[in-house]
Amino acid sequence: MTASDESNNSVEVTLGNLTIAIPEFVFKATVFDANSQGLTANLSLYQNNSLFGEYYSNNGSFSIDLEPGVYDLILSAKKSKVTFESIDVETENNKTTWFDQVNSITGFLVTYAIKSDYPQADSTTFSYSGVNYQSENALALYACQNWNMTEQACHAVWEKIDSTQNKTLDTFTTLVNVEAYSIKQLPYCGDGKCLIDENYVNCPADCNPPEPIKRRRSTGRTGGPILYPPQPKNETNETRIKCYQCVGNARVGKLFDECPDDWSEEEISCWNKSEPDRDEEPPIKSNWNPQSGSEIASNSFDLIFELNEHGHCKWSLFDIGYDDMVNNCNEGEIITCPITGLSNGYTDVFIACVDSEGNRDVRQTNTLLIFKYDEPQNIKPITGLATMYTPIPVALGLIAIVTAVASAYLALTELNGKKEELSE
């Protein structure tokens, strides 16, 4: 038995004594480059999640005898691979897919472009094997929504997209469906640039160690602040920044670790000038009244001192910072702190201040002062010759008087006795 299709193609199939002719179907696919020239390519067909066949073409033309049905197609060319799932080979027959690879897009290591007549791709994979990257851990995949295949140019903004990196195979795979993808080297520790999220602790290869912190701590014994650690004489103000936005010779706007690429030369004309000395320290305290080490007549008194700038201060009997103190002084440049609670003997008093820019004393920078307070001696009563409590000095005086009177009485009695004996 013989049967033919509309093109009179037929194949004979024998079932026992019965021979049936089944129509023969030829699936065709084409792979071109950006100039519509045939490319060396590979085609894999899957059916029901099983590999049906793998095919190779040195000119991008495929003709495969198939039974009609639904297949998954994987096309590979120019280090790119695109997957189209659930393709009806009869409906989607004789379609073309274009592949391109560009190495001249500014800011990217390599760019891949894929355009196809098939329905939307389900996944796309790109290889970066052989690409001259610096840090594999800092690679990312970007996409262009409007790519001109002929011009090899993106007419939109490159945007970073979600992707899966396979460092064993050197590939990126994405489910985002656009026409162009680029692999970008992101900043990384070791690239010679100290970026906004890097510092000497997490990236010493790129960032310089911080300048020593000047800590003021007045001991109260010398009457003046001491710098910790000691600073060298004639210290110069080093450049602390890499880029400051400028208008003319005036700095404006935000402080940057590196100049953005889209700034003009005028905007960054003063980037390499030394940064002006910024106030980064809490207010300086001076002119204490009473001075540290003074003897205080009462366990509460007003401590008055001056600040070199407008600020607010607090006090405490404990060695803590401004934020942890609860006893307030006034705000201004002349400060009065109502100190209370001094103990008998020597008491430590700690002063911490903050300026209008938020620079505040911490525990290591607060000011320590020491004051001496002697409690008045309590006079204790005694009992004795008097019926009421009498101070000790008075009681002793009374005792002396009584003793003298008694002695005089005894002496007089003795004298009278002797007179009586003489008269006899």
Q: What is the pLDDT along the chain (424 residues), one digit of tens a residue?
A: 445 444 445 555 555 656 555 556 899 999 999 999 999 999 999 999 999 999 999 999 999 999 999 999 999 999 999 999 999 999 999 999 999 999 999 999 999 999 999 988 999 999 999 999 999 999 999 999 999 999 999 998 899 999 999 999 999 999 999 999 999 999 999 988 887 777 877 888 888 876 544 444 443 333 333 333 333 333 333 333 345 555 555 555 545 555 556 656 555 544 444 444 556 789 999 999 999 888 898 989 999 999 999 999 999 998 888 988 999 999 999 999 999 988 888 899 999 999 887 889 998 889 999 998 988 765 455 444 333 444 445 445 555 555 555 565 655 555 555 445 444 4
For residue 96, the model assigns a pLDDT of: 96
Whose CA is closest to 337, among 305, 298, 372, 370?
Answer: 305
Rg, the chain, Cα only: 48
Rounded to the nearest angstrom, the gap between the alpha carbon of residue 107 and the centroid of all alpha carbons in its chain is 26
pTM above 0.75, yes or no: no
Q: Looking at the domain 285-373, which fold is it? A: Immunoglobulin-like (2.60.40)
For residue 258, the model assigns a pLDDT of: 56
Whose CA is closest to 82, among 27, 108, 44?
Answer: 44
Distance from C-alpha of 262 to C-alpha of 315, rounded to nearest angstrom: 51
> Under a CB-based contact definition with an 8 Å cutoff, are residues 177 and 120 in contact?
yes
Write the CA distances from 68 to 11, 26, 44, 55, 223, integer angstroms.
Answer: 14, 9, 16, 18, 98
According to DSSP, the residues that pair with 285 across neighbouring strands are: 307
For residue 26, the model assigns a pLDDT of: 94
Could you report how far apart the first and last alpha carbons of the chain are, in Å?
Answer: 192
CATH of domain 12-136: 2.60.40.10
Distance from C-alpha of 34 to C-alpha of 97, rounded to nearest angstrom: 10
